[in-house]
Amino acid sequence: MITEKQISILTIIMAILLIAAQCSSTPAPDNQTNYDHSQHDAQDENDHDEMGQAETELTPVELAEVELLNVVATTNIVGDIVNSVGGTHINLTTLLPLGSDPHTYQPTPQDVAAVAEADIVFINGLGLEEFLTDLIENAGGEAVVVDLSVGLPDLEEHDEHNEHEENGEAGEDHDDDMEEHGAHGETEGHDPHIWFNPINVRAMVQQVENSLAELDPQHQTQYNANLENYESELNILDQWIFNKINTLSAKRKNLVMDHNVLNHYANRYGLGQINSIIPSYSSNTSPSAQELAELQNQIIEQKIRVIFVSATANMTLAERLAEDTGIKLIPLYTGSLGEEGSGAETYLDYMRHNTQMIVNGLSGRSKSSDSAR
């Protein structure tokens, strides 16, 4: 006899096959992702209210004495953030393997089963999860989906660096005066790479703690203690990055990336940005010949020395541009944490590693004279 849960899993598998077929048969046009947000414009606000923690009432899950919450995180960065709060009191499944690009990842049957059996699913939001967005919205079932981007500031409203940024002080949250967003589509002005600002992550882990404590109130004290410890580490990280970036001269604070991934980082720490090779938040697009020519001219005119590239992205265009201009390519971890021994195994290490690589690259140093840890 087929159970209701088996029917649910079969339904989700069919949804994934349909999504995969659509992606393979209809290529995305230039400067757009495979995710068609126009189909969701009319229901965008209602959908977000259903998914967002701010509008979700959570009911405690009935757990046996040795049973743990079944928790799913989409990317391994979100997974590390969730684990920092949940620790040993949750059964955590992370969908995105190390080294995978969230813009191009395709879900597996194992992912389907994990989502179907989850008590709660944490997503980055803002359309980052191109591999799972439609699936999560249509899967049904009992799992609560928490969009960790809800309530975070909208970069579109942040055009200038304030005095706090210029002074390199991490004592107050200067992002609070920016407009809060409510959309979950990866659209212009809504950069999904929110984790590149540790202050955003501080808000994200607060959402995680609130959600876990409501679903599993018997471990609320432990979740809260883990949250406080991690918030302290994030504050230390934030000041450390400010100190590192402030060792650069003003003339050496311009970034060039393979795609638009460092907006939150640049806005937080007072860095300038030259147009990216791919002028999009997604690496799953292609630039025009004119855009590449304009970028090449900017690199030459402004004497840019390095291009920072995503370790998980296709480097063909970056390598071609480097050959034409003679500049150096420096890989960063962007959509994924690093493997064991990389120095970027956790979010905290990942941010320190990337910061040290950015400072070394912009300053012209090939290796660090001090530890990034």
Helix (H, G, I), strand (E, B) or coil at 210: helix
What pLDDT, on a 0 to 100 scale, did the predictor assign at position 92?
A: 98
Domain boundaries, the chain: 48-177+188-233, 249-363
At 67-112, the pLDDT tens digits run 999 999 999 999 999 999 999 999 999 999 998 888 788 888 888 8
As a whole number of angstroms, the distance between CA 145 and CA 138 comes to 11
- Taking the C-alpha atoms of residue 368 and residue 371, their distance in angstroms, rounded to an integer, is 7
Homologous superfamily in CATH for domain 48-177+188-233? Nitrogenase molybdenum iron protein domain (3.40.50.1980)
Residue 189 neighbours by CB distance under 10 Å: 13
Q: What is the pLDDT of residue 33?
A: 29
- Phi/psi of residue 353, nearest 5 degrees: -60, -50
3-state secondary structure of 35: coil
pLDDT value, residue 186: 37
DSSP assigned state of 155: G
CB atoms within 10 A of CB 275: 16
Summarised one tens digit per residue, pLDDT across range 120-176 is 999 999 988 887 766 666 566 667 899 999 999 866 533 333 333 344 444 444 444
Identical fold at 48-177+188-233 and 249-363?
yes
Phi then psi for 135, rounded to 5 degrees? -60, -45
Class of domain 249-363: alpha beta
Strands (E), 9-84: 69-73
Cβ–Cβ < 8 Å for 350, 373 = no
Contact 127, 99 (CB under 8 A): no
